[in-house]
Amino acid sequence: MPKPAEKSTVKKTPKAKTIGAQPENPAQLIVDGKVADNQWNLLPLTGEEEVSADNLVAGKIILPASVWLALREALQDRKQEIGVWLDSDETADLIGEYAGELPLIAAHFPAFTDGRGFTAARLLRERYGFTGEMRAVGNFIRDQLSYLTRCGFNAFAFQGEQPLSALTESLRDFSDSYQAAVDQPLPIHRRRALA
Amino acid sequence: MYRYDEQDHKLIRERVAQFRGQTERYLAGELSEEEFLPLRLQNGLYVQRLAPMLRIAVPYGLMNSTQVRRLAHITRKYDKGYAHFTTRQNVQLNWPNLEDVPDILAELAEVEMHAVQTSGNCIRNTTTDQFAGVAADELVDPRPYCELIRQWSTFHPEFAFLPRKFKIAVCGTDEDRAAIRAHDIGVQIVKNDQGETGFQVFVGGGLGRTPILGVAIRDFLPETHLLSYLEAIVRVYNQLGRRDNKFKARIKILVKAMGPEEFARRVEAEWEQIKDGADELTVEAIQWAKRFFPEQPYKTFKAGHGEAVLRDQAGGDKAFARWLERNTFPHRVEGYQAVTLSTKPTGIPPGDVTDRQLEAIADLSDEFSFGEVRVTHEQNVVLADVEQEKLFALWQAARKHGFATPNIGTLTDMICCPGGDYCSLANAKSIPVAEAIQRKFDDLDYLYDLGDLDLNISGCMNACGHHHIGHIGILGVDKKGEEFYQVQLGGSANQDASLGKVLGPSFSRDEMPATIGKILDVFVENRQPEEFFIDTYKRIGLQPFKERVYAKAS
Ligand code: HEM
Ligand code: SF4
């Protein structure tokens, strides 16, 4: 009888970065509290990127951060129509120094419980001076809208069919806050001490 | 204590309305189970083996009598007439209906209470020493800082979806009564050579499957930087903590994997960026927070008068003398003493109290202790400001209501999780083990003779009963579908914190009381006069216990 394979002989190859679920491109989204048509085309990460500045589709596009970093120089004259999206394992400092020159940054939520995008947006706004459209893409949910807004998101590209105008109600879940964040420069302890 | 202003009221009301909407959408099928789960957890609602469970926040363990009465009313109206005090100084209801939870939260909001962030992967209720503000050995009262942390962490927009739950504890004394090194962040109040207040900051502690004690990453953090430093720590964790495996997601795993020095370096680098920003506490903000914890209107007593009265009373009544010795704690103000009401008479799950008992606690606090009540992490209740002259009267009243079991700090003052009777994750029941041990060791003279001894029981490795930091820890394990119990010795939650070591093979439930008996025999035979169990253990080690417990019957 053949011996069962010993555990130690099973080779573990280091895993390449697996390409997880990619954000979608919905037809409409919420921008600054209102339903709007989506004018940007988000290019997913496929793992076999062969894009170059020459073969890149025309119009407003959102590139994966790794792709954009490679093409940034070559895309100088299309600056106004090139945005970047960060996956949840990519931190804001990856593109931070260029944030000022970008018209749009998107942060991907592979699952709504993955809260890294909250920090990314806040740092882009507060530390790196980003003033363009900060867009949430992927699987976040309406119940997160008020916190997302506080962290600096102003655009929300929900996946799937969703009654967008009803969702905007959740933007107003809270009318005040304890902490400082993008929407409120003073934490409550400072405001109270002034009162 | 802290009182809400209009802004607190508004925020909590808005939260109740938000959760009411979410519950309605869930019940209407518009919100999936998966999406509702973290939302309800962040509002304190678990779904357990038998029913939902609602965990209500008691910020750093402090309540007033109005709040306690409201809890009594809620347990009657929405539950089965009892509540449970937890090891994180909170209160749990075991049988509410999901549909009723928004109404319960609304009733709590009326008395300045909530269940926000008592569960879920967010910053939880901050805990501290139950004797905060009255302890004679206290450097600085931790409660104003706890309140500032409460406000900073409540509805924190950036940190509501962390890799895992996150717990902070603050301690203002040398003797750590808040188990700060078993927390994700432990804040130790210290003074520097100039006499300025600051904090020593520990990170990466936690129990559960991988028990680790926190390590200090900063020895002196100036007072005004408390919140900015916490923000820096949690921000580093939110970005880098593991999210691929729930059992490796706590900050302790990140700190260990990265090494405390590298973790500290990253925190300091982040903090450098924000330390002088809006999160820096102003002197006015700290003063503002301190105003909520003023000196109580204490009476002035002649030195030694109260003690003389007590000596007299205790001399004539042995039962009172015992209670006085075990269930009261020195107070920094002449003529006062703090009292622990024991929730652990034999046969009752530790920490359980009925609606009537809650009302009795409220009444006793009004009569004897300025209407304030504290929950302890050992699941008891403290009345912190009792006049020594009134201790005898309080003792008699406490006896009537079943709170005077004079066992605080002894073997039978156990910490015990709900275990297999209530919890779907349990390997074994824990409450019957606690009860069997209490029954075997009900001789008070023997208990006192043993002295301070923490016995902690968890029904599984999630460690809700803190078995790793009990002097004797008991852990429920599953052996081929049967309930067994592993014993650990030598854990400690104090300033010289340590984690227990496994004694050896596990025992059946029936064997447990006798096993504990053998362990105690080894202690009694080896102890030096007045030595406590933990010190004897540290001196003689595990081996003598092992030999006795596993000795072959001859
Ligand atoms: C009855 C239902 C309960 C369930 C299902 C439950 C579940 C859990 C789980 C899964 C953990 C582990 C989390 C981790 O390691 O990250 C945990 C930890 C904990 N539980 Fe419970 N628990 C319950 C009741 C309680 C009660 C009643 C208390 C208080 C007496 C409590 C106190 C704690 C504490 C303090 C921890 C943290 C230990 C640490 O620092 O890692 N739990 N609980
Ligand atoms: S320790 Fe285990 S059995 Fe006990 S309450 Fe926690 S999860 Fe349940």
Tens of pLDDT, residue by residue over B331-341, are 999 999 999 99
B169 and B278 share a domain? yes
**Percent share of chain B, pLDDT over 90:** 79
Contact (Cβ atoms closer than 8 angstroms) between residue B325 and residue B340: no
The predicted structure's pLDDT at residue B530: 84
**Backbone torsions φ then ψ of B385, nearest 5 degrees:** -130, 65
- Domain of residue B152, CATH code: 3.30.413.10
Tokens of B508: 């059946």
Parse chain A into domains and list their residue ranges: 28-194
The predicted structure's pLDDT at residue A5: 39
The predicted structure's pLDDT at residue A96: 94
Contacts of B151 in chain A (CB under 8 A): 178, 188-189
Tokens of A125: 């706004």
**B47-54 average pLDDT score:** 76
Overall domain count for chain B: 4
B375 and B439 share a domain? no
Q: Which of A88-92, B87-91, B256-260 has the lowest mean pLDDT?
A: B87-91
Is the C-beta atom of B462 inside 6 A of ligand 2? yes
B419 and B534 share a domain? yes
The predicted structure's pLDDT at residue B459: 95
B204 and B284 share a domain? yes
Asked if residue B131 belongs to a domain, the reply is no
Of the candidates B11, B158, B243, which has its C-beta nearest A118's C-beta?
A: B158
Contact partners, residue B141, CB within 8 Å, separation at least 6: B132, B133, B172, B290, B293
**B114-134 average pLDDT score:** 94
- Domain of residue B367, CATH code: 3.90.480.20
The predicted structure's pLDDT at residue A12: 38
Min Cα–Cα distance to chain B from A128, Å: 11
Of B290, B318, B346, the residue at which a domain comes to its end is: B290
The predicted structure's pLDDT at residue B87: 83
The predicted structure's pLDDT at residue B495: 67
The predicted structure's pLDDT at residue B50: 62
B530 and B462 share a domain? yes
The predicted structure's pLDDT at residue A10: 35
Q: Which ligand lies nearest the alpha carbon of B468?
A: 1
Q: Is A131 on the interface with B (CB under 8 A)?
A: no
The predicted structure's pLDDT at residue A17: 54
Contact (Cβ atoms closer than 8 angstroms) between residue B243 and residue B163: yes
| Protein residue closest via CA to atom 2 of ligand 2 | B460
Ligand 2 pocket test, pick from B425, B456, B475 with the greatest ligand atom count within 8 Å of Cβ, gives: B425
CB hemisphere CA count around A78 (13 angstroms):
21
- Rg for chain B (alpha carbons), in Å? 23
B191 and B261 share a domain? yes
Min Cα–Cα distance to chain B from A189, Å: 5
| pLDDT grade for A8, boundaries at 50, 70 and 90 | very low
B38 and B97 share a domain? yes
Is the C-beta atom of B477 inside 6 A of ligand 2? no
Contacts of B277 in chain A (CB under 8 A): 180
| pLDDT grade for B353, boundaries at 50, 70 and 90 | very high
| pLDDT grade for B48, boundaries at 50, 70 and 90 | low
B376 and B443 share a domain? no
Contact partners, residue B501, CB within 8 Å, separation at least 6: B488, B489, B490, B542
Indicate if the pLDDT at residue A51 is higher than 70. Answer: yes
Tens of pLDDT, residue by residue over B211-264, are 899 999 999 999 999 999 999 999 999 999 999 998 899 999 999 999 999 999
Of B348, B373, B400, the residue at which a domain comes to its end is: B400
Indicate if the pLDDT at residue B493 is higher than 90. Answer: no
B519 and B425 share a domain? yes
Q: What is the DSSP letter of B82?
A: E
Is the C-beta atom of B207 inside 6 A of ligand 1? yes
Min Cα–Cα distance to chain B from A84, Å: 19
Of B338, B369, B400, the residue at which a domain comes to its end is: B400
* DSSP output for A59-122: S-EEEEHHHHHHHTGGGGGGGGGEEEEE-TTS-GGGTGGGGGG-SEEEEEESSTT-THHHHHHH
Query: What is the Cα–Cα distance from B516 to B457, expressed in whole angstroms?
Result: 13
B252 and B332 share a domain? no
B158 and B55 share a domain? no
- ipTM for this model: 0.90
Domain of B272 in residue numbering reads as: 142-290
Asked if residue B136 belongs to a domain, the reply is no
**B344-365 average pLDDT score:** 90
State the distance from the centre of ligand 1 to the C-alpha of B92, rounded, in angstroms.
Answer: 12
Asked if residue B370 belongs to a domain, the reply is yes
Q: Is B159 on the interface with A (CB under 8 A)?
A: yes
- Mean pLDDT over all residues of chain B? 93
**Percent share of chain B, pLDDT over 70:** 99
Query: What is the Cα–Cα distance from B408 to B444, expressed in whole angstroms?
Result: 11
Tens of pLDDT, residue by residue over B364-411, are 999 999 999 999 988 899 999 999 999 999 999 999 998 998 889 899
Tens of pLDDT, residue by residue over B496-508, are 788 999 999 999 9
| pLDDT grade for A53, boundaries at 50, 70 and 90 | confident
Tell me which fold the domain A28-194 belongs to. Rossmann fold (3.40.50)
Tens of pLDDT, residue by residue over A138-153, are 999 999 999 999 999 9
Query: Contact B158/A148, CB-based, under 8 Å?
Result: no
The predicted structure's pLDDT at residue B442: 84
